[in-house]
Amino acid sequence: MKFRGKLVFSDGTEISGITGDYQVRANPRGTAGWSGTFAVPPGKFVGPDHYQLVLDETRSASIIVDNVSAGSRQTTIASFTGNGPPP
């Protein structure tokens, strides 16, 4: 599922203009696991840590960024795992 929103750090700092996508998958225990990627806006820094992902339509969820790497066209891509229910 594609999304647009902002990333909120534990100290309340925000990075807006986050775009990405996530996938929800069923686990054997009947719970939903989810993960995805998003593009980090130019000039911003995101490292492996816990964040709050707030979508433009105001739904939010806790995520754990586990990898940040260079993508195509000089874009930085962050991979994350959902921590709790998906937005």
Q: How many domains is the chain partitioned into structurally? A: 1
**Taking the model in full, what pTM does it have?**
0.88
- Asked if residue 31 is part of any domain, the answer here is yes
pLDDT digits (tens, 9 = 90+) for 50-61: 999 999 988 999
Chain-centre distance of CA 79, in angstroms? 7
pLDDT digits (tens, 9 = 90+) for 15-34: 999 999 999 987 777 667 89
| Domain with 75 in it | 2-82
- Asked if residue 6 is part of any domain, the answer here is yes
Task: Yes or no: say if 19 and 4 are a contact pair by the CB < 8 Å rule.
Answer: yes
For the segment 2-11, the average pLDDT, to the nearest whole number, is 96
DSSP 72: G
Task: Yes or no: say if 68 and 80 are a contact pair by the CB < 8 Å rule.
Answer: no
Average the pLDDT over each of 1-5, 18-22, 30-34, 79-83 and give the range with the smallest value: 30-34
